[in-house]
Structure 1
């Protein structure tokens, strides 16, 4: 009778996870480098020539379309083997999707490629490798009806590589695909795409304009932590232009909440200004009429924005001129200002997190 002790199965699984973490983390670190992600100005920015997204039959626009590669299975061994085929830019893209969850072909082209055709070629390869998952969504901001661009999120191998680099549990391929399906059908997807579209356009401006840089882009979770949950921004950014710099919080309004809810979000920002952490708050509106109503609300109740620099813009102007252009209106000022002119107060220092309190106001925000 064999009396030798047996290693419990869960311990074997934990050991495999540890080994996989070590190998994947080492390989990921070897293939990445700092100072890119579309945030730093390149030595020579290529011209941008956008092309039209692929068209699909109109009757498919009501629901996401799954990708043909979903039936493949992937293992930790695949995640290790695929590392040799990944470039530094591929790792940058994995990091972007880990933080911001979903990006369209054009978003990714704006952030990392010369144009969307070059991006599409590489994204197709990464999808076939299992690094990415993709789906169609019929209501993407900035695209007409019947034009359904691919939307990309992390695939099984991309999620494994991310887990190794962040020292979290490595997900199974089925878990990753289920997460992608939930994202594709989420009611908050349009809102998330709108936020990411704003920052991707700003990154493109930085890559194609001398002396400009999007030096920071944080998602809603990271931005809320910066605010100690006193406010719940949809994003935070740092913008530099020809030796000048500004920081801002972003609120993306797609008219899914009552206008009173949108106005109530200013309460948390007033508190941040009161403690010396105030920054410009940018409100982006998909509906110009709602933007006008928001301005009227502030004019009727100026105490709502007391001590704040609140600027508004419409998505139509952003798509036509870019987020950094003179499209921002503040208060009753009828002269649009460029983004760089919206400088924060000298005492603002949002880099360090603010202590959170359970009694702090938590305005309603769009979340997935």
Structure 2
């Protein structure tokens, strides 16, 4: 909850002197919001100092509800543009630049204008500053160092600090980061009655542990989401391949997926409840090579790669991620990934012997 009053930590209790008359409160002093407007411009940001706490309290007052939502989105999904935020928050296109300008003047966000390979005039892309992280940490009642070290928020911090390297990695891999962001923003934009993205998880949020063969493994997708479709919420994982990942690393990644889905099958998870894996790559040739890796990885654990679907970035951009852009195992035609025909079942003659053990 965001406070509309000064937190107790920023305004200590005052003990009245019993030898003096009780103090009276005058209405002639500055209002709380006037005090906040005067305090925010301070450059003294030390967390342990009274002024630092004052400034955080003031920032919680001068930022409106929509600006706070922008901070939360940038903390979880850095390097969004004003246009991206307009789609995500359902705002008029002229509003996000103004909101971001206010947040930048308060020192809560920073930005980069670096161009991607396919851009001539890149938009500015924004991320949380260290002060912005401190504000979110104060809201949640967590020390900022612990918030950065153990949380999933990325902010502009020294990489020597615990959690400080999270944003640095995203900035160094800018094309990859923005590619993932674009995919999810397009899902939000293209959402319609009967199909809509209801949750977007960053790579940090989507990472999960699972047990296979009495050994604990990690699944680390580039992102994950939940789509509401036909009265059911369906989870998917996204793998965004720019053609730069080495093949040994790609093999290891899909071995993790294969073991994860084998573990789900052993638990009796039904096919309709099994997450999908959406792999977007750069060319049909690379897509074919990825399918060979996927098939080999799943064969090792005796399950079919039924949950996996692949596509090419240029096609996804043209028809949209909900469109007929996706290949499933052994299929020559491309279909929407939510289409049931993209998911071979046990009764499918092409499913092969391994499918007879039961659905994932």
Q: What TM-score comes out, normalization by structure 2 length?
A: 0.65
Q: Distance in 2 between matches of 1:81 and 1:178?
A: 25
Task: Evaluate the alpha carbon distance shift between residue 211 and residue 330 of structure 1 in structure 2; reply closer, same or farther with a 3 A threshold.
Answer: same
- Aligned twin of 2:352: none
Q: Could you tell me whether the CA contact under 8 Å between 1:127 and 1:155 is conserved in 2? A: no
Q: Distance in 1 between matches of 2:339 and 2:190?
A: 16
Deviation digits for residues 230-273 of structure 1 (CA, Å, limit 9, x no counterpart): 32111121101343432111111111212343233121112221
Q: With CA pairs under 8 Å and 6+ residues apart, which has the higher RCO, 1 or 2? A: 1
Q: Distance in 2 between matches of 1:21 and 1:215?
A: 39
1:285 aligns with 2:270: no
- Aligned twin of 2:126: 152
Deviation digits for residues 133-163 of structure 1 (CA, Å, limit 9, x no counterpart): 11212226xxx33222111111244212211
Task: Evaluate the alpha carbon distance shift between residue 122 and residue 265 of structure 1 in structure 2; reply closer, same or farther with a 3 A threshold.
Answer: same
SS of residue paired to 2:218: coil
1:337 aligns with 2:320: no
Shift of 1:102: 2.8
Q: Could you tell me whether the CA contact under 8 Å between 2:255 and 2:297 is conserved in 1? A: no
Q: Distance in 2 between matches of 1:226 and 1:213?
A: 27
Q: Could you tell me whether the CA contact under 8 Å between 2:281 and 2:313 is conserved in 1? A: yes
SS of residue paired to 2:335: coil
Unaligned runs of 5+ in 1: 1-16, 23-70, 347-368
Match of 1:200 among 185, 188, 191: 185
Task: Evaluate the alpha carbon distance shift between residue 124 and residue 240 of structure 1 in structure 2; reply closer, same or farther with a 3 A threshold.
Answer: same
Q: Could you tell me whether the CA contact under 8 Å between 1:78 and 1:157 is conserved in 2? A: no
> RMSD between aligned alpha carbons?
3.6
- Aligned twin of 1:259: 247
Q: Distance in 1 between matches of 2:101 and 2:128?
A: 13
- Aligned twin of 1:269: 257
How many residue pairs align between the two structures? 276
1:38-187 alignment, distance < 5 Å: 74=45, 75-139=52-116, 144-170=118-144, 176=156, 178=158, 183=168, 186-187=171-172
Unaligned runs of 5+ in 2: 1-6, 13-41, 46-51, 146-154, 211-215, 346-360
Shift of 1:183: 2.8
Q: Distance in 2 between matches of 1:97 and 1:169?
A: 19
Q: Distance in 2 between matches of 1:163 and 1:77?
A: 15
Deviation digits for residues 300-338 of structure 1 (CA, Å, limit 9, x no counterpart): 787269333210122222222221222111112122222
1:222 aligns with 2:196: no
SS of residue paired to 1:265: helix
Match of 1:306 among 287, 303, 308: 303
Q: Distance in 2 between matches of 1:106 and 1:263?
A: 36
Q: What TM-score comes out, normalization by structure 1 length?
A: 0.64
- Aligned twin of 2:318: 320
Deviation digits for residues 56-111 of structure 1 (CA, Å, limit 9, x no counterpart): xxxxxxxxxxxxxxx96653322211223323322222222222233222322221
SS of residue paired to 1:134: strand
Range that drifts further, 72-81 or 161-170: 72-81
Q: Distance in 1 between matches of 2:287 and 2:230?
A: 30
- Aligned twin of 1:5: none
> Computing the radius of gyration over CA atoms, which structure comes out larger, 1 or 2?
2
Q: Distance in 2 between matches of 1:299 and 1:267?
A: 10
- Aligned twin of 2:9: 19
Task: Evaluate the alpha carbon distance shift between residue 307 and residue 299 of structure 1 in structure 2; reply closer, same or farther with a 3 A threshold.
Answer: closer
